[in-house]
């Protein structure tokens, strides 16, 4: 068992931990990132969308109906899976409390401005730092099968437009012109031309490599405890040794609540599990990233792959496998919108991973102890908010 020291120890090597390490190391800090498998987890299997347009939080009035459907075991994009942890019920109650319209509006405003700033930082990482993120400036479409569902979203469009978002309503004919590969009998779409997309695993690794170039170290270790005294954390224990540091950052994604307990912190983060399936492709299938609104499926079409992402499952275990028919059901639902989807036989195995969800949808970024900072709870916006979170954490660390 060895002992190591760093100015800052970051627990978590996904997109949030990697961005945090990058900005800290660039500012001159000696940074050590601890993660059993850096660059994997939700940062690798997510939809790969950089989307200020998705700033309406999970806790919104529509969520109330989704929770009722889940509790009644009706068809719902929110699902529950055993075992259910004792802390989930108060977490759900908190989410329903935060779903009141005025609170949703406040959260949407905050998330939108953070997301816009983060997109500018992504562009700086590419242009000023030379990091090869391969950002795709395709924009995104929210696609609707029914006219009623399309009309219900007009309020959301007005909300985002007031915040400065550029968006356009596309009727059936305009949608066919924008995306010829979609089913012709769709009601319409909302276009967000300034959204971006990327390969999330590749982008996370690229930012981690850039952090290493500034001197950050990444070690494949699992944090199993911490030593605290006089209000400060002095060290963490890993499965391979001890790490002392002046500052500690909890950026452990969906595991942040468990990790936080080592530091004496209670973080209101619960994993919301999603499923993705990836198909190989020899060209982009779609011109835009697409969200199939009624099916709650996101399609990210890149130059060499097509990824489908769906689901918001609470409960179960971190290592749980997707349902046996998850890939088949996801393929069938997406194919009803995109008939030219690659053959089901070519798809990879379904992936399941947890998003770090807070009741309000607002990430927990800030000091939670004398020398401990939380950087977690980004929900479905982890990739979107990575860089802006890194800059915020870096500004909080005093040296």
> Where is 269: in which H helix or E strand?
none
Residue 398 has pLDDT above 90, yes or no: no
pLDDT confidence of residue 173:
97
Indicate the pTM of the whole model: 0.96
pLDDT at residue 71, as a whole number: 63
Q: Which pLDDT does position 25 carry in this prediction?
A: 98
pLDDT at 174 (0 to 100): 97
CA–CA separation, 104 vs 97, rounded Å?
Answer: 10
Q: Residue 75: is its pLDDT beyond 80?
A: no
Average pLDDT over residues 272-292: 95
- The lowest-confidence range among 156-165, 235-244, 303-312, 360-369 is 156-165
The C-alpha angle with vertex 60 and arms to 47 and 88, in degrees rounded to 5, equals: 80
Alpha carbon distance, N-terminus to C-terminus of the chain:
28
**Residue 81: per-residue pLDDT:** 85
pLDDT for the residue numbered 102: 93
- C-alpha closest to that of 174 among 141, 218, 198, 135: 141
Q: Is the pLDDT of residue 33 over 90?
A: yes
pLDDT at 67 over 80: no
**The pLDDT value given to residue 175:** 97
Give the per-residue pLDDT at 334.
96
pLDDT at 247: 98
State how far the Cα of 192 lies from the Cα of 321, in Å rounded to an integer: 34
Type and span of the H or E element at 310: strand 305-315
Among the ranges 77-86, 95-104, 234-243, which has the highest mean pLDDT value? Answer: 234-243
Mean pLDDT of the chain: 93
Which of 271, 279, 250 is closest to 17 using CA atoms? 250
What is residue 186's DSSP assignment? Answer: -
DSSP structure string for 198-221: --HHHHHHHHHHHHHHTT-EEE--
Average pLDDT of the residues in 243-258: 97
């Amino acid at each position: 068992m060895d002992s190591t020291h760093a100015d800052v120890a970051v627990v978590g090597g996904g997109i949030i931990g990697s961005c945090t390490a990058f900005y800290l190391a660039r500012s001159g800090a000696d940074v050590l990132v601890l993660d059993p498998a850096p660059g994997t987890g939700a940062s690798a299997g997510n939809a790969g969308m950089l989307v200020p347009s998705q700033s309406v939080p999970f806790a919104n009035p529509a969520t109330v109906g989704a929770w009722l459907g889940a509790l009644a075991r009706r068809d719902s994009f929110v699902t529950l899976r055993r075992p259910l942890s004792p802390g989930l019920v108060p977490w759900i109650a908190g989410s329903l409390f935060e779903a009141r319209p005025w609170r949703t509006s406040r959260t949407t405003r905050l998330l939108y401005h953070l997301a816009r700033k983060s997109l500018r930082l992504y562009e700086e990482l590419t242009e000023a730092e030379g990091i090869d993120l391969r950002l795709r400036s395709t924009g995104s479409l929210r696609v609707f099968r029914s006219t009623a569902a399309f009309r219900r979203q007009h309020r959301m469009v007005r909300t985002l437009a007031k915040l400065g978002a550029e968006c356009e309503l596309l009727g059936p004919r305009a949608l066919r012109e924008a995306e010829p590969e979609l089913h012709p009998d769709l009601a319409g779409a909302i276009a967000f031309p300034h959204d971006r997309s990327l390969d999330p695993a590749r982008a996370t690794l690229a930012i981690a490599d850039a952090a290493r170039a500034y001197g950050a170290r990444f070690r494949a270790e699992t944090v199993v405890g911490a030593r605290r005294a006089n209000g400060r954390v002095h060290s963490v224990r890993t499965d391979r040794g001890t790490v002392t540091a002046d500052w500690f950052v909890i950026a452990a994604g969906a595991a942040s609540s468990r990790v936080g307990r080592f530091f004496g912190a209670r973080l209101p983060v619960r994993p919301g599990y999603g499923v993705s399936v990836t198909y190989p492709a020899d060209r982009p299938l779609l011109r835009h990233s697409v969200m199939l609104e009624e099916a709650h499926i996101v399609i990210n079409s890149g130059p060499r792959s097509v990824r489908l992402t769906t689901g918001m499952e609470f409960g179960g275990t971190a290592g749980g496998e997707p349902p046996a028919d998850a890939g088949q059901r996801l393929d069938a639902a997406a194919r009803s919108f995109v008939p030219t989807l690659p053959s089901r036989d070519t798809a990879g195995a379904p992936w399941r991973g947890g998003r770090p969800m807070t009741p309000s949808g607002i990430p927990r970024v800030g000091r939670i102890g004398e020398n401990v900072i939380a950087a977690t709870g980004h929900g479905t916006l982890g990739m979107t908010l990575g860089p802006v979170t890194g800059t915020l954490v870096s500004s909080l660390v005093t040296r």
